[in-house]
């Protein structure tokens, strides 16, 4: 049963990539990247999370790393949020897209902005579409900022500057709730 359950979770992860890809995007401009992490990749991802936990003093990264190790796989969805949408909407706090892009080039870094707010919203919509699908198919999941941060640090989504991770598991009890730490 375990092997069949694992294969089913991997198939759901693949479908989640499709859900993220086809989710609506601002102005129809796609800046979403997504990947599946499994096997030894889960251990690398968890170790990077522990390293970031020590560097930054974020104890929840350590807790989340244990969740990653206990998962069948992890879906990571990111956005190239440093790119400009060209609307000059000012939601990012800059008078124009060009000024925000220049600020990104001069001082921005992955997971630290400044980002196009529409690209960040696109990421949220893509992640929402993906987790909805997982939930409909009864695969336990939880959206984690810490996983996205580690995935970006490892270069798993080379073009993305912001990401979220979604560990997936099929167990008798959801491993992502009733957590300590």
pLDDT of 1 over the 60 cut: no
pLDDT of 177 over the 90 cut: no
Q: How far is it, in rounded angstroms, from Cα 102 to Cα 15?
A: 36
Domain-embedded: residue 159: yes
Give the pLDDT mean for 100-115.
92
CA distance from start to end of the chain: 32
Domain-embedded: residue 71: yes
What pTM value is reported for the model?
Answer: 0.95
Domain-embedded: residue 181: no
Domain-embedded: residue 42: yes
Question: Which residue segment(s) compose the domain that 150 sits in?
Answer: 2-169
pLDDT score at 92: 95
Contact between 97 and 88 under an 8 Å Cβ cutoff? The reply is yes
Give me 71's structure tokens.
């998962």
Give the count of domains, the chain: 1
Q: What is the CATH number of the domain that holds 55?
A: 3.40.109.10
Q: How far is it, in rounded angstroms, from Cα 88 to Cα 153?
A: 29
- Pairing type for strands 73-79 and 140-141 reads unpaired
Domain-embedded: residue 180: no
Q: How far is it, in rounded angstroms, from Cα 38 to Cα 32?
A: 20
Domain-embedded: residue 165: yes
Give me 70's structure tokens.
């206990």
Q: What are phi and psi of 161, to 5 degrees?
A: -115, -5
Domain-embedded: residue 177: no
Q: How far is it, in rounded angstroms, from Cα 172 to Cα 96?
A: 51
Q: In this structure, how many other beta carbons lie within 10 angstroms of the beta carbon of residue 22?
A: 12
Q: What are phi and psi of 109, to 5 degrees?
A: -155, 160
pLDDT per position as a tens digit, 10-65: 999 999 999 999 999 999 999 999 999 999 999 999 999 999 999 999 999 999 99
Domain-embedded: residue 178: no
Contacts of 13 (CB under 8 A, 6+ apart): 36, 38, 73, 75, 168
DSSP-assigned beta bridge partners for residue 113: 109
């Amino acid at each position: 049963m375990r092997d069949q359950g694992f294969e089913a979770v991997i198939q759901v992860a693949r479908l989640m990539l499709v859900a993220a890809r086809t989710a609506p995007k601002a102005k129809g401009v796609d800046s979403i990247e997504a990947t599946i992490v499994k096997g030894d990749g889960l251990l690398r991802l968890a170790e990077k999370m522990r390293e970031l936990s020590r560097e930054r003093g974020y104890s929840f990264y350590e807790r989340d790393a244990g969740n990653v190790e206990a998962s069948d796989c992890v879906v990571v969805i990111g956005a190239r949020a440093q790119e400009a949408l060209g609307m000059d909407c000012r939601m990012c706090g800059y008078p124009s897209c060009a000024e925000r892009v220049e600020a990104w080039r001069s001082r921005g870094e992955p997971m630290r902005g400044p980002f196009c707010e529409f690209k960040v919203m696109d990421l949220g919509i893509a992640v929402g579409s993906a987790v909805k699908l997982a939930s409909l198919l009864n695969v336990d999941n939880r959206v984690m900022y810490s996983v996205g941060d580690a995935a970006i640090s490892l270069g798993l989504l080379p073009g993305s500057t912001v990401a979220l991770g979604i560990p997936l598991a099929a167990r008798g009890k959801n491993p992502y709730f009733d957590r300590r730490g």
